[in-house]
């Protein structure tokens, strides 16, 4: 847990770096020297040549330029120690934070050299404080509300078939009907209209759902393998995350799919790969409070207690799912991925234009077609189309997650994907509105 909470240091370092030019300006080209060791130049003597506040390139696109740069020197560690901030203290498991070299490159590329009074273009770049302190002093009311009763344990799917306990993620292709006759109907308005709010965001490596021609058996990607702890048990037994279905967008010849991104906040993520993002929603969430977002997500779903879930469970608990291929290209930036599925049905990519509605269960690799989830029925609203999204959109989301009151650091990496739910475990109520 603890390591990720130290990431605010990275922000502190950023702020520190941006103050140094006041001490002496000029950016030496030597990649291993820092911003401070240049000989002093009077900033007033230098006329703005590339006014940082006017012509700064998109700093998020600077991150593209950063790919491949890896600077770390003894000198760098020296000044960090002097500042009392040593980002190397971040655990291998946690967010990497920005390297000092990356900050320096941003600074240079924004045209700051010799212009300590110039500013990064606020329309394109934000540097925000992230101290490890908070004005909120109440204990997390959701902590430990994840049910522990054995009735919630995974159970044999043979019994799920007998009891008609529908499962997810299913085939969501138009026209698909599962083989399990169920009574439940999915919530078919927005979750907001049902009084539900998002209580978590997490994602799986590859898609758990299948949408023919979008994310299916014929999709491709870069085939990295990353570890995951299974997402469910607290013992954190790491194993290679199971890769789900992939999209069809990957093109080895196009650098936006192959140029790796310098991830500062997400962990173990890769450009060119497919991820299915889930936003669990609940009517018993701590909606509109500092405790709305929780890890594990079950703490968010059950936070206010069972009375808020009374009635038809599938209208009180639901998940939004959207599938993306990550690209290293700022044309695909979206700043608020944490809040929920991207809705832009009339836009170029048609986000949310074709949504499948059905009832199922929670997912994850602790379940398959032999062992099933007891958390059922819940509504699934799944965007059938695979979309492109910039790596920076995900990294921004991970930074936002680290700003939440609850510690979301266990959701900064991709979780493994459950195998496709078999026909006999899939509800016969899939619909498109
Ligand atoms: C998914 O459903 C579609 C539509 O019914 C079907 O054509 C396709 O074969 C199914 N795929 C799998 C793997 O079940
Ligand atoms: C939406 O769900 C309600 C309640 O289950 C149902 O009465 C209604 O017919 C559904 N609407 C559509 C368009 O399926
Ligand atoms: C990833 O694996 C698939 C299936 O094994 C293969 O077809 C594809 O070429 C691989 N992609 C890369 C970039 O190696």
Q: Which pLDDT score is estimated for 214?
A: 98
CA distance 398 to 396: 5
Residue tagged 């044309």 (tokens): 331
Alpha carbon nearest to ligand 3 atom 4, residue: 220
Residue 190 near ligand 2, beta carbon < 6 Å: no
Which numbered ligand comes closest to the C-alpha of 243? 3
pLDDT value, residue 30? 57
Q: What is the largest CA-CA distance in the chain?
A: 81
- What does each C-alpha distance from 40 to 20, 27, 47, 105, 117 come to in angstroms? 11, 11, 16, 19, 15
- CA-CA distance, 376 to 170, in Å (whole number)? 14
Task: Look at residue 401 and give its three-state secondary structure.
Answer: helix
CA 53 from centre of chain: 30
CA gap 149, 346 in Å, rounded: 45
What distance in angstroms lies between residue 354's CA and the mean position of ligand 2's atoms?
17
Residues 6+ positions from 280 with CB-CB distance below 8 Å = 198, 199, 200, 297, 300, 301, 317, 318, 319
**Nearest atom, ligand 1, residue 217 CA:** 13
In this structure, the chain runs to a length of 433
Decide: 59 and 111 in contact? Cβ < 8 Å. no
Phi first, then psi: give them for residue 117, nearest 5 degrees: -90, -10
CA dist 136 → 246, 403, 408 (Å): 41, 12, 17
pLDDT for 12: 34
> Over the range 191-215, which residues count as b (16 or more CB within 10 Å of their CB) and which as e?
beebebbbbbbbbbbbbbbbbeebb
State residue 223's pLDDT score: 84
CB 228 within 8 A of CB 222: no
Count the alpha carbons within 13 Å of 314 in the hemisphere toward its beta carbon. 24
In this prediction the pTM is 0.83
Cβ of residue 212 lying under 6 Å from some atom of ligand 1: yes
- pLDDT means per 10 residues in the chain (433 residues)? 37 37 50 53 39 34 31 32 38 80 85 85 85 94 95 96 97 96 97 98 97 98 76 54 96 97 95 98 98 97 96 97 98 97 98 98 94 97 98 98 96 95 97 85
Amino acid 368: pLDDT: 95
pLDDT in tens, 347-395: 999 999 999 999 999 999 999 999 999 999 999 999 999 999 999 999 9
For helices 59-66 and 100-109, what crossing angle results, to 10°? Answer: 130
Rg of the chain (C-alpha set): 23
Residues 280-301 as b or e (16 or more Cβ within 10 Å = b): bbbbbbbbebebbbbbbbbbbb
DSSP 160-214: HHHHT---SS-B--TT---SB--S-----S-TGGGT-EE---EEEEBBSSBBTTT
Site to probe by mutation for ligand 2, drawn from 185, 186, 318 as the one with most ligand atoms within 8 Å of Cβ, is 185
Only one residue has tokens 């003894």, namely: 74
Using the structure block, give the residue that is written with the tokens 């790796």: 260
Q: Tell whether ligand 1 has an atom less than 6 A from the beta carbon of residue 140.
A: no
Q: What is the pLDDT of residue 120?
A: 83
Q: How far apart are CA 106 and CA 172, in angstroms?
A: 43
Minimal-distance CA residue to ligand 3 atom 3: 220
Q: Are 258 and 222 a contacting pair, CB within 8 Å?
A: yes
So what's the pLDDT on residue 124? 81
Tokens 């950016």 locate to 27
- Return the residue whose CA atom lies nearest to atom 11 of ligand 2: 188
Cis ω for the linkage preceding 68 (within 30 of 0): no
Residues 407 and 144: their CA atoms lie apart, in Å, by: 13
Residue (of 155, 187, 176) closest to 366 by Cα position: 155
Task: Return the best residue to mutate from 170, 176, 430 for the ligand 1 pocket (most ligand atoms within 8 A of CB).
Answer: 176
Q: In angstroms, rounded to a whole number, what is the distance separating the alpha carbons of residues 190 and 46?
A: 56
Q: Could you give phi then psi for residue 79, rounded to 5 degrees?
A: -75, -25
CA distances from 209 to 255, 322, 389, 419 (A): 27, 10, 18, 9
- 175-201: pLDDT as tens digits: 999 999 999 999 999 999 999 999 999
Cα–Cα distance list, 416 to 365, 369, 399 (Å)? 6, 15, 22
């Amino acid at each position: 847990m603890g390591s990720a909470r130290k990431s605010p240091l990275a922000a502190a370092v950023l702020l520190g770096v941006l103050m140094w030019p006041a001490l002496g300006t000029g950016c030496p080209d030597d990649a291993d020297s820092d911003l401070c060791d240049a000989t002093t130049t009077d900033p007033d003597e230098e006329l703005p040549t590339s006014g940082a506040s006017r012509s700064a390139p998109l700093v998020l696109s600077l991150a593209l330029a950063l790919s491949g740069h890896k600077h770390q020197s003894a000198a760098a560690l020296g000044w960090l120690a002097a500042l009392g901030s040593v980002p190397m203290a971040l655990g291998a498991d946690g967010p990497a934070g920005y390297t000092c070299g990356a900050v320096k490159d941003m600074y240079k590329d924004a045209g700051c050299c010799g212009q300590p009074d110039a500013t990064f273009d606020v329309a394109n770049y934000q540097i925000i404080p992230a101290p490890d302190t908070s004005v909120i002093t109440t204990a997390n009311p959701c902590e430990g509300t994840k049910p522990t009763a054995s009735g919630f344990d995974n159970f044999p799917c043979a019994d799920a078939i007998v009891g008609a306990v529908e499962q997810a993620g299913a085939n969501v292709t138009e026209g698909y009907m599962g083989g399990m006759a169920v009574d439940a109907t999915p919530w078919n308005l927005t979750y907001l209209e049902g009084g539900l709010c998002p209580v978590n965001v997490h994602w799986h490596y590859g898609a758990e759902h299948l949408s023919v021609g979008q994310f299916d058996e014929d999709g491709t990607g870069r085939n990295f393998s990353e570890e995951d702890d299974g997402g469910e048990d607290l013992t954190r037994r790491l194993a290679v995350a199971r890769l789900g279905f992939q999209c069809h967008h990957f093109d080895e010849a196009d650098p936006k799919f192959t140029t790796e991104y310098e991830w500062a906040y997400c962990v173990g993520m890769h450009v060119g790969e497919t991820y299915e993002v889930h936003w669990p929603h609940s009517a018993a969430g701590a909606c509109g409070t500092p405790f709305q977002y929780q890890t594990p997500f079950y703490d968010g779903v059950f936070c206010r207690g069972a009375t808020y879930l009374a009635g038809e469970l599938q209208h009180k608990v639901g998940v939004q799912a959207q599938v993306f291929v990550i690209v290293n290209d700022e044309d695909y930036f979206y700043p608020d991925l944490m809040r929920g599925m991207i809705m832009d049905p009339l836009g170029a990519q048609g986000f949310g234009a074709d949504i499948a509605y059905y009832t199922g269960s929670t997912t994850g690799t602790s379940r398959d077609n032999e062992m099933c989830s007891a958390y059922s029925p819940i509504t699934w609203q799944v965007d059938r189309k695979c979309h492109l999204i910039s790596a920076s959109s995900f990294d921004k989301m991970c930074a936002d997650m680290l700003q939440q009151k609850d510690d979301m650091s266990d959701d900064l990496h991709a979780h493994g994907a459950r195998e496709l739910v078999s026909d006999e475990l899939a509800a016969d109520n899939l619909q498109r509105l």
